[in-house]
Amino acid sequence: MSHDFEFNPFSHAHHADPYPTYKRLRDEAPAYYNPKLDFWALSRFQDVLDAYNDWQTYTSTQGIAIEGYAGSRSMIEMDPPDQLPLRRLINHAFTPRSVDRLEPRVRGLCTEFLNQIVEAGECDLVAGFAAKLPSDVISTLLGAPREDHLQIRLWPEAALTREQTGGQAEGSASGMQHLRAYFPELLRSRRAQPRDDLASALCAVEHEGRKLTDEEGLAFLTLLITGGNETTEKWIANTCFLLSEHPDQKRKVLDDPGLIPDAAEESIRYFSPTAYMARTTTRDVPIHGETIPKGEKVALLCGAANRDERQFPDPDRFDILRRAERHLGFGHGPHFCLGARLARLEIRVALEEIHRRIPDYAADPDGVDYMHGGNVAGFNRVPIRYTPAPRE
């Protein structure tokens, strides 16, 4: 159990380049224990996949972050069979057809946000575009008033920021409090006056005689806005940065925009916006010569698993033609991300419009700034330059 290196998922240095540490974990300590932060970590692809599927042993009911459990009873913090009725209810309100209908709105938002930056010839891709799009898409989907969209974007960002010790950063608690105060009022207004939006659908949806409770609706909306905003924002920014850093791959996208979905899938494998998901053991687990005791927190390192050479040939090569369909960017098993279809729609349209409007963009690797959270990995800032273009 003793190691000559430390894995701290909250370390700012780790956020800038986690992959050497991930490789050491996979090779030297595939069942790793951090005594200071009191958690275990699994880093190999098959181990993480098996743990995702074995919810009886690796339970989500004690939270999905290693730094604690808020006790929200969100769907992501339930296991089957308790999770299944709620998941079915959400599926009825969050259908593929309802998601696909959003494409014109997503494209319209891309046009709007790109119009605000194309003439300048330079911008921060995150603040100018990547952070705005998923927030406005989800806020629009929920039916939140346009004047509230900025705050709905800023609150989750604050809520997910962590200190290097794993503690909440300044403003983190208040960000979550604002979200939990905002959504009950939105749900109340939709019960009184339903509209054509997801909040109204959640209030009305019924499956086998069961409706969502107020607590369940609040938990799902909080999960949707925190998970949907931050991870999709990072996915867009991460992908553009990677394409800028790999001009041969970017050239393929420019020559054939039909490769954009492949580029997005390789990006989520290569630079996973979800760094890990935590579970808690329900029994002693013997693994790789160690025994993880019952009741211990275990970080399932998606970011490490998606670079495992045991699963992916030459995993540290960014190759948009790889078509690695079995990655863990959206989780797996009972907790596979319900928002995956929406996220894929958003990034496809975003990359189509970016490469159409500012195709020669180049990122400044020395000017980037990283997200300092636990679960979420990616950039808070990506400066780019490009040839100025006219507004549309």
* Residue 159: predicted pLDDT: 58
Sign, CA torsion 269/266/346/336? negative
**Residue (of 71, 41, 127, 151) closest to 374 by Cα position:** 41
Contacts of residue 11, defined as CB under 8 A and 6 or more positions apart, other chains included, come to: 164
Q: Which residues contact 320 (CB under 8 A, 6 or more apart)?
A: 249, 252, 253, 259, 262, 263, 266
Question: From residue 227, how far is each of 40, 268, 291, 376 by CA, in Å?
Answer: 23, 15, 32, 9
Quote the pLDDT of residue 349: 98
Predicted local confidence at residue 86, as pLDDT:
76
Among 340, 372, 357, residue whose Cα is nearest residue 125: 357
pLDDT per position in the chain (392 positions), as tens? 667 889 999 998 899 999 999 999 999 999 999 999 999 999 999 999 999 999 999 999 998 888 766 555 678 888 998 888 778 777 776 788 888 888 999 999 999 999 999 999 999 999 999 999 998 888 888 888 888 877 777 776 655 555 555 555 555 567 668 777 888 888 888 888 988 887 888 788 776 777 777 777 777 877 777 777 888 999 999 999 999 999 999 999 999 999 999 999 999 999 999 999 999 999 999 999 999 999 999 999 999 999 999 999 999 999 999 987 789 999 998 889 888 999 999 999 999 999 999 999 999 999 999 988 778 889 999 999 999 999 99
CA dihedral 373, 374, 376, 379 (to 10 degrees): 40
Could you state, in order of their start, the residue ranges of all structural domains in the chain?
A: 12-385
* DSSP bridge partners of 120: none
If you search the block for the tokens 């393929």, which residue do you land on?
252
Model pTM score? 0.89
The answer to whether 118 touches 377, Cβ cutoff 8 Å, is no
Top-tier CATH class for 12-385: mainly alpha
